[in-house]
């Protein structure tokens, strides 16, 4: 058996949570492979809305195993908060969720370092989610991290050593910690570690490979998006993990030849939270209109998302890097009332037009997006249930995108609810 991977092709918040929930009934297991509580994955069904941060979006369907893989960084306190809320709403989480003992832990001082790093960068700050993601992955790669499996191995001593190292780093940065606040955070941290002991902590690479050997199917759920990938995104304005398909191999222990379908998910337009370049960003009324109609505010931080037209140069690059086999287009309903819709088909740089995503897009003034303008469909599509109901202009828009991107669009989402999903 193969594993399928679903991941974001833009700057995150494409709607991954919604689609993972929709696709889950086809699979035996759902697994997160990178990122941490910087993610906010929204699901809506039966009039209720849930935002998941570290827990896979497969938990609301029935019978699947959900796995937090080794590539994820776990904040015990935020995890406990999220998990307890789900338990209170009736999800039997301890039964369906398994967590890798190789997942790295986000410590209270990682969050302090995240904030200190941002302050030190001043005007060049990344605009991180402040969840300690960067410092935790830094410790992982520099071989200083603490893993979930360490909680049974002289944990207090190891924890204290890591904390003291972080405090020294903070002091060197001129950002000494508030020790009383830290002490309180540590009490909550240790309490949350105890709560996690109630979950099955596993060797998730064995679990997943055993499932595959038994003929079971697995869906891997990405977080963030390809343009936030630490290698291929708009570096340094990226997150600290590999959000691309290869991240599913290293973040779960799945061999590359086990990868089956790669679902690449994108919005009918484009958004970005935090700082960093965004060639098709709209600073005008149209950008504001997209933000209002699409409710483009962060699921976790509530931050305003920057909005712009769809960028096919970046999308083609993302499709290549990930080996996307099927596309999923989200939030087309947000454009239901537009007279015309623009799509960026090239970048004009120094008078030359290219459709190749360049090394750097930092100098936004030097990149002029080249647009094609298409007629809008001017139809409320939110209650449609099959592609036969699509207006002609919308079908033409899909055909245009498929032609430019070279991959079929298999799913179209026309609203936030589980039911507002059309499989083609």
Cite the active site residues.
13, 41
Task: Determine the Cα–Cα distance for residues 276 and 360; give it in Å rounded to an integer.
Answer: 11
Q: Which of 299, 307, 381, 409 binds Mg ion (CB under 5 A)?
A: 299
> Residue 419 CB, nearest distance to ligand GDP (Å)?
11
- Residue closer to ligand IMO (CB basis): 155 or 297: 297
Binds 334: which of Mg ion, ligand IMO, ligand GDP, none (CB < 5-8 Å by kind): ligand GDP
Tokens 């790295």 map to which residue? 104
140 scored as a contact of ligand GDP (CB under 6 A): no
Q: Which of 13, 82, 281, 336 binds Mg ion (CB under 5 A)?
A: 13
What are the distances in angstroms from CA 26 to CA 15, 217, 327?
18, 8, 17
- Residue closer to Mg ion (CB basis): 13 or 139: 13
- 186: which 2 tokens? 């540590």
Q: Which of 4, 13, 311, 336 binds ligand GDP (CB under 6 A)?
A: 13
Task: Determine the Cα–Cα distance for residues 46 and 404; give it in Å rounded to an integer.
Answer: 36
Task: Determine the Cα–Cα distance for residues 340 and 150; give it in Å rounded to an integer.
Answer: 56
- Residue closer to ligand IMO (CB basis): 41 or 104: 41
CA geometry: angle 82, 119, 14, nearest 5 deg = 45
**DSSP state letter for 340:** E
Residue nearest to ligand GDP (CB): 42
Q: Which of 55, 82, 416, 422 binds ligand GDP (CB under 6 A)?
A: 416
Q: Which of 67, 249, 330, 398 binds ligand GDP (CB under 6 A)?
A: 330
131 scored as a contact of ligand GDP (CB under 6 A): no
> Residue 408 CB, nearest distance to Mg ion (Å)?
25
Query: In the window 34-73, what residues touch Mg ion (CB under 5 A)?
Result: 40
* Closest to 174 (Cα-Cα) out of 126, 108, 115, 133: 115
Residue nearest to ligand IMO (CB): 274
Contact predicate 96/145, CB 8 Å: no
Contact predicate 97/55, CB 8 Å: yes
Contact predicate 78/112, CB 8 Å: no
- Residue closer to ligand IMO (CB basis): 267 or 316: 267
Contact predicate 341/335, CB 8 Å: yes
Task: By CB under 6 A, name the binding residues for ligand IMO.
Answer: 8, 11-13, 35, 38-41, 126-129, 131, 133-134, 223-225, 228, 239-240, 273-274
Q: Is 33 helix (H, G, I), strand (E, B) or coil?
A: coil
């Amino acid at each position: 058996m193969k594993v399928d991977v679903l991941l974001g092709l833009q700057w995150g918040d494409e709607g991954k949570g919604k689609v993972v929930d929709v696709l889950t009934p086809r699979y035996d297991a759902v697994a997160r492979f990178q990122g941490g509580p910087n993610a906010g994955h929204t699901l809506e069904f039966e009039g209720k809305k849930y935002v998941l941060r570290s827990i896979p979006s497969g938990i609301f369907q029935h019978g699947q195993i959900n796995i937090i893989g080794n590539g994820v960084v776990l904040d015990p306190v935020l995890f406990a908060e999220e998990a307890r809320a789900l338990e209170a709403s009736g999800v039997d989480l301890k039964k369906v969720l398994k967590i890798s003992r190789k997942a790295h832990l986000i410590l209270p001082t990682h969050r302090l370092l995240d904030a200190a790093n941002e302050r030190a960068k001043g005007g060049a700050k990344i605009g991180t989610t402040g969840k300690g993601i960067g410092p935790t992955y830094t410790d992982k790669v520099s071989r200083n991290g603490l893993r979930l499996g360490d909680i049974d191995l002289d944990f207090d001593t190891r924890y204290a050593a890591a904390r003291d190292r972080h405090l020294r780093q903070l002091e060197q940065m001129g950002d000494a910690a508030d020790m009383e606040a830290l002490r309180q955070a540590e009490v909550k941290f240790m309490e949350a570690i105890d709560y996690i002991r109630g979950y099955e902590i596993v060797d998730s690479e064995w679990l997943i490979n055993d499932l595959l050997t038994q003929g079971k199917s697995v869906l891997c759920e990405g977080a963030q998006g390809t343009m936030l990938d630490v290698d291929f995104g708009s570096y340094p304005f990226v997150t600290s993990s590999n959000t691309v398909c290869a991240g599913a191999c290293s973040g779960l222990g799945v061999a590359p030849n086990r990868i089956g379908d790669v679902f690449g998910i994108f919005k009918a337009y484009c958004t970005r939270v935090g700082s960093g370049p965004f060639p098709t960003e709209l600073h005008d009324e149209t950008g504001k209109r997209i933000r209002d109609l699409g409710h483009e505010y962060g699921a976790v931080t509530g931050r305003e998302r920057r909005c712009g037209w769809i960028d096919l140069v970046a999308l083609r690059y993302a499709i290549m890097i990930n080996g996307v086999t099927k596309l999923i287009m989200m939030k087309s309903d947000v454009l239901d009332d537009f007279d015309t819709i623009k799509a960026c088909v090239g970048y004009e740089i120094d008078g030359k037009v290219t459709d190749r995503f360049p090394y750097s897009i930092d100098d936004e003034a030097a990149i002029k997006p080249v647009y094609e303008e298409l007629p809008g469909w001017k139809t409320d599509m939110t209650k449609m249930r099959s592609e036969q109901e699509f207006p002609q202009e919308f079908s033409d828009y899909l055909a245009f995108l498929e032609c430019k991107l070279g991959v079929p669009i298999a799913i179209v989402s026309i609203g936030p609810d589980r039911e507002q999903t059309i499989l083609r």
